[in-house]
Amino acid sequence: MDNKKVLIVDDQNGIRVLLMEVFSGEGYEAYQASNGKEALELVQQVTPDIVLLDMKIPGMDGLEILKQIKQIKQMKPDMNVIMMTAYGELDMIKEATDLGALMHFTKPFDIDEMRVAVNMTLEGTKSSTVNT
């Protein structure tokens, strides 16, 4: 069975390290990127099953990255994106949802809630492919 792949995109090293540990510990292949360029390269190279994407990234913001992921996503339609946002970015959250983001977490988020959401999302994609 292939391990599910999680890509963490955040310019804050501490958050990336924490999430990498959590999702590696869950048995996923975890990847990280600190900027949009790295993130998009990884999306194309490893085609993650889920991308945890921070809204506020210097250079290319989360919405721009999401738009480009969406174009790549045509090759892998079951790739999911969960946004991570600072408090109060409601207009961006709405736009991200319109662009196909699954859900969002407001920082500081509860790491267990994030873990459960990712597990449920990835379990969902796993079981739905079995039945078809």
Q: Which domains can be identified in the chain, with CATH numbers?
A: 5-131 (3.40.50.2300)
pLDDT tens per residue across span 54-109:
999 988 999 999 999 988 877 778 899 999 988 767 888 899 999 999 999 999 99
Q: CA separation (Å) from 37 to 65, 73, 82? A: 8, 16, 18
Selected residue with higher pLDDT from 90 and 127: 90
pLDDT band at 132 (very low <50, low <70, confident <90, very high): very low
Residue 107 CA neighbour count, 13 Å, CB half: 14
pLDDT band at 1 (very low <50, low <70, confident <90, very high): low
- Average pLDDT in the 38-59 region? 94
Whether 116 has a pLDDT exceeding 70, the answer reads yes
- Three-state secondary-structure class, residue 54: strand
Conformation bin of residue 101: beta by default, left when phi > 0, alpha when psi is -120 to 50: beta
How high is the pLDDT of residue 2?
74
Q: Alpha-carbon distance 69 to 125, whole Å? A: 18
How high is the pLDDT of residue 130?
42
